[in-house]
Amino acid sequence: MFFWLFMLLIDLLIPLTMILLGRRFLTKPPEQINDFYGYRTTMSMKNAGTWHFAHEYCGRLWFRLGLILIPLSAVPLLFTIGRDVDRVAVVGTIVCGVQIILFLASLIPTEAALKKHFDKNGKRRS
């Protein structure tokens, strides 16, 4: 049971991180473009406008996705209560892998929104 609880906590780390960072990006995004913290892609770092837009868009997306992922991450593990450690590990690893894929996939709509609202030089489209 200890390993099951451990795996549940591990699998909730990514959704909780997405919720916390999403909320942070919405309420208090990094003020200046930097190389250490924030949504850092070539397009988001063009200028202050793209930087703030990317954080607002990505923050909203991560917050919502994190809220959705919490129950979707816990439910598969509920089916492994009382099972052997190997089964719990496999299910927990698959859940974590799906979370990572969704986390990385969130870059796609964010970058698409940036390209829709800004040209390649970072100038806002009218």
Position 32 scores a pLDDT of: 92
Asked, for residue 8, whether it belongs to a domain, the answer is yes
Q: Name the average pLDDT for the chain.
A: 94
Model confidence pLDDT, tens digit, residues 16-25 = 999 999 999 9
- Does residue 122 lie within any of the structural domains? no
Decide if 125 is inside a domain. Answer: no
Query: Tens digits of per-residue pLDDT, 60-89?
Result: 999 999 999 999 999 999 999 989 999 999
Does residue 47 form part of some domain?
A: yes
In a domain, 39, yes or no: yes
Contact 44, 54 (CB under 8 A): yes
What are the residues facing 124 on neighbouring strands?
118
Q: Provide the number of structural domains found in the chain.
A: 1
The set of residues, in sequence order, having a beta carbon less than 8 Å from that of 23 and lying 6+ positions away, is: 59, 63
pLDDT tens digit string along 29-49?
999 999 899 999 999 999 999
Domain extent for 35? 2-117
Q: How confident is the model at residue 1 (pLDDT cuts 50, 70, 90)?
A: confident
pTM of the predicted protein model? 0.88
Going by pLDDT thresholds of 50, 70 and 90, the confidence category of residue 109 is very high
Structural domain includes residue 78? yes
Report if residue 123 sits inside a domain: no
Q: Does residue 126 form part of some domain? A: no
